Amino acid sequence: MYSNHNAKRLVSLKGEIIVINANIQSLRADLDWFERFDHENNHAKLAQVQRETIAAREQLARVEQSIKASRAELNSAKGVAEAGWSPLHWFSSERRVAERQVSTQQERLLQFKNRQVGLVSGLGESQREELRLSANSQRYRGYDSLQARATITQLDNEMQRLQGVAEEVRKASAHWEAVAGEVYRNWKTTHDQLRATERDIIDAECFIIQLDNAQSSFTKRMVHEDCEIRFGAGQRSPDRVLKDRQFHQRKLEREEDKRKRRLRDTLRLLENEIRNLVVDGNNLCYLNEAGGKRRFIGLVVLKALVPHLAATYGVTLVFDPGIRCQLDMSDNALQAMFPQVRVLVMPPTLTADHPVLAAAEFDVGTYVISNDHYSDYPDMAAVREDRVLHAVIHRDSVQIPQLQVLLPH
């Protein structure tokens, strides 16, 4: 209800600016890569890597074929080198030759396998490099540098616009904080204290109910101990706590209402809720004196007040019909006295009270200035919605606290 919405909007705007700036930096990095990219050199490297890949595949195929042949020769030599069932074979020269061949073939097979591992590893690196170079080439051919520059320009303009908006919002937020920040915090402190007191009252009432329902002295003692734990040392009696909190509640309610009204009046001005004013002219033609007497002082207050208000608000000045005789002036003369505003003088059979309130009935931005409490018109919108502002007339000045107006007259 009461918060600095400009501060929230400023956070949102800063988030948008950060995102846009990140997008600009990314686009500029891509554009820089494009401008520095050597397409011809990349194409030549790609062709070379492709040739090396083909050559590596061919070498790998030959090595794999050699492994296959070597494995077959090894298996054959192993068959001859086996002892077998014939004693004549055990000591034959053929077997001795076969045993040497097994050793030789195993070494050759190991060399071929090592060669195979190296070729597979190199081929994997070549393929990855080929994919990288190919992707760079495709990226370069598909990149639209004109579109990227146009997008960067567009985002730059948008960021500058948002930075301007953010600066205005920052100023509005700072202004809100300077004008309403302390008022808001005072109200919020009292509001929170009131809510806490209301919770205390509920808990105290619960303890009283528990005492009423207690069946033994032990149970009652436990309730008193729980009450002291809840409310602090020495506060064992729920009845005493309840009376204390209810007294405190009434005090806080009055304080919160006073601070809430001040905050509401401050925010009305900050957020430009008040656009038009209907001034009860006769009401401001009297000065209250000692003993409850009222002295007619004429237009002296209105002459100081109306031009000042008209510089900010749309103003309508309304008079009772008796003003004609009191001032010995015609309606046209009164209008000429206040050329900045609209002047209405009621016909002889009509007082100004109801027309003043009626002028603010259907527009929430229209407020009434009068020292009348309008107790006869509780259902009129301006009275019901507390849109009646009161003027304080001093001997040498006039004050409207809700509008932060204080003028000499």
**Structural domain boundaries in the chain:** 37-143, 180-269, 274-408
Q: How confident is the model at residue 211 (pLDDT cuts 50, 70, 90)?
A: very high
Higher pLDDT, 79 or 247: 247
Residue 312: count of CB within 10 angstroms of its CB = 14
- CB 384, CB 357: distance < 8 Å: no
Q: How confident is the model at residue 91 (pLDDT cuts 50, 70, 90)?
A: low
Buried b (16+ CB within 10 A) or exposed e, 340-378: ebebbbbeeeeebbebbbebbeeeeebbbbbebebeebe
pLDDT for position 216: 93
18-74 pLDDT, tens digit each: 999 999 999 999 999 999 999 999 999 999 999 999 999 999 999 999 899 888 887
Measure the CA–CA gap between 341 and 389, rounded to whole angstroms.
18
329-351 pLDDT, tens digit each: 999 999 999 999 999 999 988 88
Q: Pairing between strand 397-400 and 392-393?
A: antiparallel
pLDDT, average across residues 153-158 = 97
Give CA 290 to chain center in angstroms. 54
At 95, list the tokens.
């077997």
At 213, list the tokens.
């329902």
pLDDT for position 202: 96
Buried b (16+ CB within 10 A) or exposed e, 177-209: eeebbebbebbeebbebbeebeebbebbeebbe
pLDDT for position 102: 76
- CB 296, CB 322: distance < 8 Å: no
102-124 pLDDT, tens digit each: 788 888 889 989 999 999 999 99
301-333 pLDDT, tens digit each: 999 999 999 999 999 999 999 999 999 999 999
Using the structure block, give the residue that is written with the tokens 């038009």.
276
CA distances for 42 relative to 367, 377, 391, angstroms: 75, 87, 83
- CB 353, CB 374: distance < 8 Å: yes
pLDDT for position 234: 92
CATH of 274-408, one of 3.40.50, 3.40.630, 3.10.590, 1.10.3470: 3.40.50
Alpha helices in 271-328 (DSSP H): 300-310, 323-327
Q: How confident is the model at residue 93 (pLDDT cuts 50, 70, 90)?
A: low
Mean pLDDT of all residues in the chain? Answer: 90
pLDDT for position 189: 94
Alpha helices in 37-92 (DSSP H): 39-81, 87-90
257-292 pLDDT, tens digit each: 999 888 888 888 777 788 999 999 999 999 988 777
pLDDT for position 177: 86
Buried b (16+ CB within 10 A) or exposed e, 257-295: eebbebbbbbbbeeeeebeebbbbbbbbbbbeeeeeeee
Largest Cα span, the chain: 157
- CB 389, CB 368: distance < 8 Å: yes
Measure the CA–CA gap between 165 and 13, rounded to whole angstroms.
8
Q: How confident is the model at residue 85 (pLDDT cuts 50, 70, 90)?
A: low
